């Protein structure tokens, strides 16, 4: 009595949780759930002879070869053991199941069940009993709203190892529609798991329920997902390098959008902090209190933008931050604020524009011996580009920066930053000032050629999650 470990489930809002719901994609039969095709047996299933793992139909539609690989959900009858079973073979109208479905030695009768068809909620698939073996379980969800009660949530008691959840609009894998998972009263988190899994095209929605968190996970990949109005969007409960979000968005979250995760091409908007710790590439914080922030662990960001953040665009109070090709635009405080500890700080090829305080602010309170600031640019920062001394040294422990690597620009270097267009202008002098050729390092080989790097991310984005990286 188990669902195959290579099952493909079909979930639809108009499905029925009593349906079989799944198909073993390694079998030769027809995938009934994918087309929501269901065959209903009402009291006409019987036990053939003394076989406990066989089913026969007394009258009506007989089992056939196309049924192989489909799951039948047996719900009642004399001698029936209720549960989901895979049909592994069919011969002479008799179906062989993956395990015993009869408790009787013979004479079982009056069995009822549903073969194929879609189920109505993904929790049924997540909580099903599976056959042993390596898992490759796909849970396909047609676009629609799926309400989650406390009894349905995926927590540590539910093994979702090897599961892939994906929403779709019309056809499986079309990547256009979203399955919307909505919390209901009493839910702590819809998804709280240390199991490895993947999730594509899902909207996780707090649904106006207070005190509910977004996914709290350890080993997961999210692609094109949304995390809306939670206390926190998505968080890694362990090391930051085992949870990855690609083209995802977190919006309206009280504490953070993304915490200690890897992001690629993600957007955090209207959250207290867009990105807490973690590793980020081509990601954007919009209208947050803090764009990118680290107070423990590590923060690494390349080609990222903090846009209209109320306090700081990029901030660290513990050091341990690496920022390359990043831009802060119109922050309410400092564009880049590094305070407290200045150990493990590297800032290269970054731009601050329109900060209400400094573009780059450094304050050594506790300690700091390993800070590197190289090739920074700024424009229209109220208190100035930076608070370093004229020799570009904050203290004896801050490494010196060449004067030609720190330039206060005379105009914005970007095409139209107010509307999210952060491509570099082709006008001089800002183009040359932001497109400096790296000097040849010492002891280079004869065939080494210097490469041009742009200061700041060359990108254009909109709040719909579209990011265009322009190669020069």
- The answer, yes or no, to whether residue 463 has pLDDT greater than 80, is no
pLDDT level of residue 256 (50, 70, 90 thresholds): very high
The predicted-structure confidence for 157-189, as pLDDT tens digits, reads as follows: 999 999 999 999 999 999 889 999 999 999 999
Closest Cα to residue 407, out of 360, 451, 362, 371?
A: 360
The reply to whether 224 and 75 lie within a common domain is: no
The reply to whether 294 and 361 lie within a common domain is: yes
Q: Residue 272: what are its φ and ψ, rounded to 5°? A: -60, -50
In this prediction, what percent of the chain has a pLDDT beyond 70?
Answer: 86
The reply to whether 86 and 207 lie within a common domain is: no
pLDDT in the model for residue 433:
79
What Cα–Cα distance (Å) separates residue 93 from each residue in 44, 110, 139, 349? 13, 17, 30, 71
The reply to whether 158 and 212 lie within a common domain is: yes
- Which three-class secondary structure state does DSSP give residue 56? strand
pTM of the predicted structure, to 2 decimals:
0.89
Averaged pLDDT for residues 102-113: 96
pLDDT in the model for residue 304:
93
The reply to whether 202 and 232 lie within a common domain is: yes
The reply to whether 139 and 112 lie within a common domain is: no
Domain that holds residue 410: 134-416
The reply to whether 277 and 214 lie within a common domain is: yes
Report the domain count for the chain. Answer: 2
The reply to whether 109 and 147 lie within a common domain is: no
Residue 421 domain-assigned (yes or no):
no
- The answer, yes or no, to whether residue 227 has pLDDT greater than 60, is yes
- The answer, yes or no, to whether residue 364 has pLDDT greater than 90, is no
Element (H, E) at 72: strand 71-78
Residue 438 domain-assigned (yes or no):
no
Nearest-angstrom CA–CA distance, 337 and 347: 11
- The answer, yes or no, to whether residue 329 has pLDDT greater than 50, is yes
The reply to whether 184 and 107 lie within a common domain is: no
Q: Which residues pair with 73 in a beta bridge?
A: 84, 114
**CATH number of domain containing 326:** 2.160.20.10
The predicted-structure confidence for 259-280, as pLDDT tens digits, reads as follows: 999 999 999 999 999 999 999 9
pLDDT level of residue 241 (50, 70, 90 thresholds): low
In this prediction, what percent of the chain has a pLDDT beyond 90?
Answer: 72
pLDDT level of residue 453 (50, 70, 90 thresholds): very low
Residue 77 domain-assigned (yes or no):
yes
Least confident of 138-142, 374-378, 384-388, 441-445: 441-445
Q: Which two tokens stand for residue 278?
A: 């973690």
The reply to whether 162 and 227 lie within a common domain is: yes
Query: 162 with 136: CB under 8 angstroms?
Result: yes
- Which three-class secondary structure state does DSSP give residue 240? helix
- The answer, yes or no, to whether residue 401 has pLDDT greater than 50, is no
The reply to whether 400 and 364 lie within a common domain is: yes
Q: Which residues pair with 87 in a beta bridge?
A: 97
pLDDT in the model for residue 109:
96
Averaged pLDDT for residues 376-386: 92
The reply to whether 377 and 228 lie within a common domain is: yes
Residue 160 domain-assigned (yes or no):
yes
- The answer, yes or no, to whether residue 240 has pLDDT greater than 70, is no
């Amino acid at each position: 009595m188990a669902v195959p470990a290579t099952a493909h489930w079909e979930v639809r809002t108009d499905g029925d949780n009593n349906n079989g719901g799944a198909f073993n994609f390694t079998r030769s039969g027809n995938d009934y759930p994918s087309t929501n095709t269901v065959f209903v047996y009402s009291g006409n299933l019987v036990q053939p002879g003394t076989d406990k793992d066989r089913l026969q139909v007394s009258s009506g539609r007989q089992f056939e070869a196309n049924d192989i690989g489909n799951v039948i959900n047996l719900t009642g009858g004399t001698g029936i053991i209720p549960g989901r079973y895979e049909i592994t073979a069919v011969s002479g109208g008799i179906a062989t199941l993956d395990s015993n479905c009869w408790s009787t030695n013979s004479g079982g009768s009056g069995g009822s069940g549903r073969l194929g068809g879609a189920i109505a909620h993904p929790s049924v698939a997540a909580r099903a009993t599976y056959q042993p073996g390596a898992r490759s379980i796909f849970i396909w969800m047609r676009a629609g709203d799926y309400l989650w009660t406390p009894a349905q949530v995926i927590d540590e008691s539910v093994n979702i190892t090897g599961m892939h959840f994906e929403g779709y609009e019309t056809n499986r894998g079309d990547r256009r529609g979203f399955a919307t998972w909505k919390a209901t009263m009493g839910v702590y988190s819809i998804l709280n798991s240390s199991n490895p899994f993947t999730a594509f095209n899902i909207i996780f929605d707090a649904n106006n329920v207070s005190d509910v968190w977004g996914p709290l996970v350890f080993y997961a990949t999210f692609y094109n997902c949304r995390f809306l109005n939670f206390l926190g969007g998505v968080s890694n409960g362990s090391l930051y390098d085992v949870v990855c979000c690609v083209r995802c968005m977190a919006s309206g979250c009280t504490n953070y959008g993304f915490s200690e995760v890897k992001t690629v091409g993600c957007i955090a908007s209207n959250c207290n902090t867009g990105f807490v710790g973690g590793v980020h590439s081509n990601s954007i914080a919009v209208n947050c209190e803090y764009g990118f922030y680290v107070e423990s662990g590590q923060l690494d960001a390349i080609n990222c933008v903090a846009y209209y953040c109320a306090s700081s665009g990029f901030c660290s109070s513990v050091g341990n931050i690496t920022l390359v090709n990043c831009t802060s635009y119109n922050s309410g405080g400092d564009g880049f604020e590094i305070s407290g500890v200045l150990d493990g700080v590297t800032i290269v090829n970054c731009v601050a524009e329109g900060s209400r305080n400094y573009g780059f602010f450094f304050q050594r309170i506790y300690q700091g011996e390993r800070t590197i600031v190289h090739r920074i640019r700024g424009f229209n920062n109220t208190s100035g580009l930076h608070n370093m001394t004229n020799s570009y040294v904050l203290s004896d422990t801050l490494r010196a920066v060449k004067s030609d690597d720190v330039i206060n620009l005379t105009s914005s270097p970007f095409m139209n930053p107010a509307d999210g267009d952060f491509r570099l202008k082709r006008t001089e002098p800002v183009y040359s000032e932001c497109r400096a050729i790296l000097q040849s390092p010492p002891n280079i080989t004869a065939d080494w050629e210097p490469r041009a790097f742009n200061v700041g991310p060359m990108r254009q984005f909109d709040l719909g999650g579209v990011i265009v990286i322009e190669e020069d």
